[in-house]
Amino acid sequence: MRKFLALCVLALAIISCKKEINSKLKVDVSDIKINLKIDRFDVDFYKTTPADLGKTKLKYPFLFPQEPDSVWINKINNKDERELYDETQKVFSNITGLTTDLNSFFKHLKYYNPKSKTPRVITMLTNIDYDNRIVFADSLLLISLDAYLGKKHPFYSEYPAYIKQNNEKEQVIVDVAKAILNAHKFSKKPRSFVDKMIYKGKKMYLLDAYLPAISDSLKIGYSQNKMRWAESNEAQIWKYFIEKNMLYNTDKELDIRFLDIAPFSKFYLEKDRQSPGRIGEFIGWQIVRSYMQKNDVSLPELLQKNEAEIFIKSNYKPKK
């Protein structure tokens, strides 16, 4: 009974905290004007006939390296390429949902960064090039839709579960946001473990601001079970970091254990495999949230604050 009550108290505390975060970041972007243009290169290319190839190349000159036209015609008619296109169309024949997400994201981005410009968005296929599924280059945003066909899709059968978790179509907007915010100017890269956690936490807080309607689990890329584990064990994780004198440690091994992409975090305990990877990023996110709740700081100001100041003024104390 006591355990049940403790879990209820923890759940209420988490809900209350999220309400405070959502309240501070709830802004009206209905009057924000953007010019969102989405071109379906994936559709245009695979519907191109030999006679129309010249028109397609004129529309997307930067996507056609110097090759004979026969190379592109063969690619269009290739059996494996056509299968990839057909499977992608099953998921993305209609991109109304993605368009809505992008529209909201770019409006929020402009709200906080009035000088920001909305890039031309182009959807494409890249033979499931996972490392380059989103490419942002100033005025262009390239989205590889074939990387988001669903974690159960056979195309991803050889991927580990923690990678497949983020092959869902709902993840597109999060990856877009992460690619674009990586172009933001942050304070200089940190050295200590706690500073590195907070550095990553800043980026996660930007996602809170730019993607207010997106769940925390999607933003950080955890399954629901892994997210619940992180939330319910937050105090114990923080206690572990303190007791092991990790906060001001500069050993890069801590990056591998708690910050790098991995199936789970490495406490060297029996429960390790229950944990999500990058748990240090999750903790850094909570520290920044605590700081922003307790201090009157704008989003641009947050980016330039050094991690030591954020840590001290956050008065971070996870609920037990």
Q: How far apart are the C-alpha atoms of 177 and 206, rounded to whole Å?
A: 9
The answer to whether residue 12 scores a pLDDT higher than 60 is no
Nearest to 220 by CA among 301, 165, 300, 143: 165
40-59 pLDDT tens trace: 999 999 999 999 999 999 99
Segment 68-113, tens digit of pLDDT: 999 999 999 999 999 999 999 999 999 999 999 999 999 999 999 9
Q: In the 8-state DSSP scheme, what is residue 155?
A: G
Q: At residue 235, does pLDDT exceed 90? A: yes
Mean predicted confidence (pLDDT) in 234-245: 98
pLDDT for residue 76? 97
**Tens digits of residue pLDDT in 259-309:** 999 999 999 999 999 999 999 999 999 999 999 999 999 998 999 899 999
Q: Does residue 253 carry a pLDDT above 50?
A: yes
- Confidence (pLDDT) at 320: 78
DSSP, collapsed to helix, strand or coil, labels residue 192 as coil
Indicate if the pLDDT at residue 9 is higher than 80: no
In whole angstroms, give the CA distance from residue 242 to residue 308: 16
Q: What's the token pair of residue 155?
A: 């195309």
pLDDT of amino acid 247: 98
Instruction: Work out the pLDDT band at 138, boundaries 50, 70, 90.
Output: confident
Beginning with the edge strand found earlier in the chain, give each strand of the sheet holding 140-144 in spatial order.
Answer: 38-40, 120-124, 140-144, 134-137
Block residue for tokens 């990877």: 277
21 — pLDDT class (breaks 50, 70, 90) = low
